[in-house]
Chains A and B, each alone.
Chain A
Amino acid sequence: MKAFLDPMPQALHGLRVVEFTAGMAGPWIGRFMAYCGAEVVKVESKNHPDVTRVYVPPWAPEMGVQTQLSPWFTDWNAGKRLVALDLARPAAVELCKRLVAISDVVVENYSTGVMDKLGLGYAELQRVKSDLIMCSSSGYGDSGPYRGYVTWGPNIEALSGLATLSGFPERECTITQYAYPDPVSALHGLFAIMCALDYRRRTGQGQYISLSQYEATASVIGHFLMEYLANGREPARLGNRSRHAAPHGCYRCKGEDRWCAIAVFTDEEWKRFCGVVGEPEWITDPRFATLSARLANAAALDRLIEQWTSRRSDYEVMTALQEAGIAAGVVQNVEDQFRRDPQLAARHFFEEIEHAQKGTVVANGIPLGLTGTPGRTRGTGAAIGQDNDYVFGELLGMTPEEIQRCVEAGAIERP
């Protein structure tokens, strides 16, 4: 297989990235870079495959766990080159170093200390590539008393304070179903790498970056932490309410588990809102006439609004309010987004890409919005070691015989 050919120049064309990653927080960095034209080589081993490979929805349990079928693996590793090496063997570590020597960036999210133990720590790698940029992402960062602790995305949500701050006041805490700290950490990591690339372009110097997923998630609730740090007050849990808008919440609509989010900020919007719901007398009702009155009587207001919304479909509610210039949006599920969202469809958000075993799969869009260099997904994540021949043959210039010797020695693993 030859190098991917791009029909148009992409923003990160010419960069090569090697990643030692699993899950989402690490792989999503390479996913974005590959989408923007970088050549991304992911190193896995059969004994330690990316954990997402074993998450396969149970659509055919009798087929067992087929490691190419995970929709998470295929998406978060789309467009990458996949090689398989047994990193316990010195010959495999040497091959990694040869690969790093012709690359620009290394990304890893193994447990803290594992890369050092493998002989692939920053100091070792910098010897073969003096201006290397390496980003390590871990739950707690590379220092501090708990640096080796095991975490997954939801742990970080709990640890960072986000879980306790979120949700309805009568609940204990809220944890997302989408491991929010994973995308948060990946985006922070990618930003840090792009900053380091900028510095390298200007000075010729690479550097090591350590990212703490705990700190990345704490930073997106920094303003809440500030409230405690500055005033010593534990921030209150607001549910869907806002201190600056009322009504502000999710309102039940017609149908099973259907809701529309509504946010009314200004008095002008409030007047228009009253017009849409056909209750012009609310405008002068002392309970609702001003924002502070609406905030004080939010529960009563919510009940009245729900009497209007619950007799209408969620899309009807959204359209009627949006036509009056009021922020409203259906609480969409994944099927709504894929089948019923004209905006996502018009912007071609979902991408159909080829998959070796399934024919095609649908990938989520990469929301970078680069109109000059739009990016694209070049194939899904596939089998472990699927690109061994390209990477070791074409990139490292090894002969088939050399590759075969490494296979026999157990350093390179066949798919």
Chain B
Amino acid sequence: MASCNCGHQNDDEKQKEFGDLLAKYKGVKGALIPVLQEAQEIFGYLPAETMKQISQSQGIPFSKTFGVATFYSQFHLKPRGRNIIRMCQGTACHVRGAAKVFDAVSTNLGVAKNETTEDRRYTLETVACLGACGLAPVMMVNSDTHGRLSPDSAVKMVKNYE
């Protein structure tokens, strides 16, 4: 999920990309979820205006679009940080002390689950298994997976992401 918030791409470009996206999926059946996924890749989250435009283009009520966007944990209605930290809280990680790792990172960054730091550098999320259970406890920062974490090593690792 490369959600680019670097600021290099200006809003016009994003709007154009979004326009192309709407055109691509016009009239395709069952396309709502892929459209939302790709729109989120462009904007980093799903602004209300974007969801309205998607509803119009797909010819479905806004209430349904909103319903779908709030049902799945992948969709975000608020802007997120530049770096997305996803701490695994799955069973394998849990029995190997994932809760402590989470607490250490959470305390260090001063944010709770699903919160973003004030400088927008990090968003802290949890996930129910990254499929790398052999390396438990595990976290993902953006698209990198890091395993065999301790509370200290996780905090250090996170600092590597500007």
Asked if A and B bind, the verdict is no
